[in-house]
Amino acid sequence: MTSARHNNLCLCNTCHKLCKKPPAAQTKALCPRCYSPLFSRKPETLIRTWALTIAAAILFIPANLLPITTITYLGHSQPDTIMSGIIALTKAGMIPIAIVVFIASIAVPVLKLLGIVTLLLSVQYRWSMNPTQRTLMFRMIEWIGRWSMLDLFVIAILMALINLGNLSEFEAGSAANAFGLVVVLTMFAATSFDPRLIWDQDVTTDDKEPKDIKDD
């Protein structure tokens, strides 16, 4: 199997036009069709993805330790972290909601961070993991990231509805800001990772002809 890169070609990342690979010296080549910068692999993809992932992992700590919401009921304030909120939901018997919030706010960010770190390490240290499985993992990470916004949307909705001053009030806590950053940073980390790196180590150059596309 032969890659576009081996044939001095490069696919535009934005409009998917196959172009001639820009010479290494020329750093600002543009796609002739959509004027996006052309590069055969995303520039500094590993270092950027590492930086975004590490920043997200660090922010995930205050996001979980600080209160994400404060509920005031008849003058009594009850701050809740993500986890204590989930426990409170379980105690109130709202198990399905507790599971949904747990998946969106804890499971998804943790699995995303671990997934990106696995992809980065597997590329850097040329681990012999199945590339098809790693590509699937990348697609999952890319697709699932936005669902972590769920908790922040719920907070915005509840803040609009529960607003009675001292009687009963719902307030976002400082963890919400950190959590919002975690979601945004992990989404950027997923887009800055170049999945073609997974296949670069796999290239066996004995088969020179391009493959025919299979139908579905």
Partner 1 sequence: MTPPFLRERPLTACHECDLLLQPAQKKLHQIVRCPRCGYKLYQHKPGSTHNTIALALAGVVFFIPANTLPIMSMELFGQTHIDTMLTGVTRLFDNGHWWISGLVLLCSVIFPLMRLVLALLVLIPLQLGRSSRAQIEAFKLYHHLSSWSMLEVYMIGILVAIIKLANMAMISPGYGLICFTGLMLCTIGLSQTLDEHTTWDLLEKYRHD
Q: Which of 29, 46, 54, 94 binds partner 1 (CB under 8 A)?
A: 94
Q: Is 59 in the site for partner 1 (CB under 8 A)?
A: no
73: left (phi over 0), alpha (psi -120 to 50) or beta: beta
CB of 171 to Zn ion, least distance (A): 46
Q: Is 156 in the site for Zn ion (CB under 5 A)?
A: no
Only segment of 45-53, 76-84, 117-125, 180-188 that touches partner 1 (CB under 8 A): 180-188
Alpha-carbon gap, residue 30 to 36, rounded angstroms: 5
Q: Is 46 in the site for partner 1 (CB under 8 A)?
A: no
CB of 152 to partner 1, least distance (A): 6
CB of 145 to partner 1, least distance (A): 7
Q: Is 185 in the site for partner 1 (CB under 8 A)?
A: no
CB contact burial 181-216 (16+ within 10 A = b; e otherwise): bbbbbbbbbbebbbbbbbeeeeeeeeeeeeeeeeee
Alpha-carbon gap, residue 216 to 214, rounded angstroms: 7
Q: Is 31 in the site for Zn ion (CB under 5 A)?
A: yes
Instruction: Identify residues 63-102 at the interface with Zn ion (CB under 5 A).
Output: none
Q: Is 131 in the site for partner 1 (CB under 8 A)?
A: yes
Alpha-carbon gap, residue 75 to 62, rounded angstroms: 27
Which 3 state secondary structure label does DSSP give 207?
Answer: coil
Q: Which of 12, 63, 183, 185 binds Zn ion (CB under 5 A)?
A: 12
Instruction: Identify residues 150-179 at the interface with partner 1 (CB under 8 A).
Output: 150, 152-164, 167-168, 171-172, 176-177
Q: Integer distance in angstroms from the first to the last C-alpha of the chain?
A: 20
Q: Is 142 in the site for partner 1 (CB under 8 A)?
A: yes
Q: Which of 22, 67, 115, 195 binds partner 1 (CB under 8 A)?
A: 195
Look up tokens 């204590």; give the residue.
84
Residues 6+ apart with CB under 8 A from 13: 36, 39, 42
